[in-house]
């Protein structure tokens, strides 16, 4: 590997590590396609991106989840579906007991 490609590879890994630590979404663009998601696994060979799709134009929208496994040395990517969630299921998972309490009622007492 030339020193220029080694620098690019090191820079790619460094930026992916930053995104992984911060939980930031990344997009990898290729000539004919692109991949985006939040890095959930990263090592020196692969990055795994989690991508959630929600069609907000449909109230009964299903939240679909896909994982992209990308080989960093060749930028070869694979996508595999994981699960489909309804909007209600996703909201139920995100809805905690604390968020159900009305802060105005607690402060008025």
Q: Given this model, what pLDDT does residue 109 score?
A: 44
pLDDT, greater one: 8 or 78:
78
Q: Given this model, what pLDDT does residue 102 score?
A: 54
Could you read off the pLDDT of 49-63 as tens digits, one per residue?
A: 999 877 777 766 677
Could you read off the pLDDT of 17-33 as tens digits, one per residue?
A: 999 999 888 988 877 88
Question: What percentage of residues in the chain have a pLDDT greater than 90?
Answer: 17
In sequence order, what DSSP letters do the residues of the chain get, joined into one string?
A: --HHHHHHHHHHHHHHHHHHHHT--EEEE-SS-EEEEEEEEE-SSEEEEEEEE--TTSTTPEEEEEEEEEETTTTEEEEEEEEEEEHHHHHHHH--HHHHS-HHHHHH-
pTM of the predicted model over 0.75: no
42 closest CA partner among 58, 20, 26, 57: 20
């Amino acid at each position: 590997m030339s020193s220029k490609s080694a620098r690019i590879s090191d820079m790619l890994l460094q930026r992916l590590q930053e995104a992984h630590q911060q939980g930031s979404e990344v997009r990898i663009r290729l000539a004919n396609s692109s991949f985006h998601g939040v890095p959930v696994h990263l090592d020196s060979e692969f990055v795994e991106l989690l991508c959630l799709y929600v069609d907000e134009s449909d109230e009964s929208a299903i939240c679909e989840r896909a994982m992209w496994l990308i080989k960093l040395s060749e930028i070869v990517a694979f996508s595999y579906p994981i699960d489909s969630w309804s909007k209600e299921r996703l909201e139920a998972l995100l809805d905690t007991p604390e968020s159900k309490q009305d802060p105005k009622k607690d402060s008025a007492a």
